[in-house]
């Protein structure tokens, strides 16, 4: 399958089955994140894998976007390692590296037959407290992952895309 077809098939999954994500798949997802490009190759990303029952329960308290999943990746970056932060480039720049890492992970998960959901809406301070995450780690998003339930289907947004000529300009 060519990449465009593959990418079109991915959608944000908001209903997961009980089936656990196998460790081999988790390792492949992490390996895909590990080879992502980052500014100056600094690799500032920090990824926390949430799988234990206790940790999953903590996630349920920190975001309402869990949808029955039993695997989560909390994704952030280390301020002391981010090229953007070290060079005083404030603003959204530092979030770029972990976002690319997470995109690699999301697409690898899709290739393994898993569904994912990128979640930006979560209680950062609660997660920090629950999992003892140091202040130097800036949290960007949660990637929910798991086997889609039988009734999982794309939200209407999935097929609501602007015309390419609205977002692209040839100069
Ligand atoms: C940066 C970012 C933040 C997002 N945050 C959330 C979120 O907090 N909750 C949620 O349900 N979906 C979230 N999404 C998923 C988007 O709503 C979804 O990708 C978009 O509507 C397109 O749908 P699709 O992924 O099915 O193609 C987020 C996506 C991105 C890229």
Task: Convert the pLDDT of each residue in 10-32 to its tens digit.
Answer: 999 999 999 999 999 999 999 99
Q: Model-level pTM?
A: 0.97
Does position 88 have pLDDT exceeding 90, yes or no?
no
Q: Mind listing the pLDDT tens digit for each residue in 125-170?
A: 999 999 999 999 999 999 999 999 999 999 999 999 999 999 999 9
Neighbour count for residue 52 (Cβ, 10 Å)? 10
Q: Is the CB of 119 under 6 A from ligand 1?
A: yes
Q: Strand 115-119 to strand 137-146: parallel, antiparallel, or no bridges (unpaired)? A: antiparallel
Does position 90 have pLDDT exceeding 80, yes or no?
no
Average pLDDT estimate for 88-100? 83
- Adjacency order of strands within the sheet including 45-50: 45-50, 71-78, 137-146, 115-119
Domains assigned to the chain: 3-167 (3.40.109.10)
Could you tell which of 8, 10, 12, 148 is best to mutate to test the pocket of ligand 1, judged by most ligand atoms within 8 Å of the CB?
Answer: 12
């Amino acid at each position: 399958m060519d990449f465009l077809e593959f990418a079109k098939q991915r959608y944000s999954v908001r209903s997961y089955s009980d089936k656990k994500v196998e460790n081999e798949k988790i390792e492949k997802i992490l390996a895909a994140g590990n080879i992502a490009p980052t500014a100056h190759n600094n690799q500032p990303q920090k990824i926390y894998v949430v799988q234990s029952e206790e940790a999953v329960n903590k996630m349920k308290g920190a975001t309402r976007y869990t949808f029955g999943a039993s695997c989560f990746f909390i994704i952030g970056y280390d301020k002391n390692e981010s090229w953007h932060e070290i060079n005083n480039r404030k603003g959204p720049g530092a979030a770029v590296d972990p976002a690319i890492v997470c995109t690699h992970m999301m697409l690898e998960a899709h290739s393994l037959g898993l569904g994912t959901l990128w979640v930006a809406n979560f209680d950062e301070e609660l997660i920090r407290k629950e999992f003892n995450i140091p202040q130097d780690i800036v949290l960007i998003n949660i990637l929910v992952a798991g086997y889609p339930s039988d009734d999982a289907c794309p939200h209407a947004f999935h097929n609501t895309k602007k015309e390419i000529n609205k977002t692209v300009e040839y100069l």
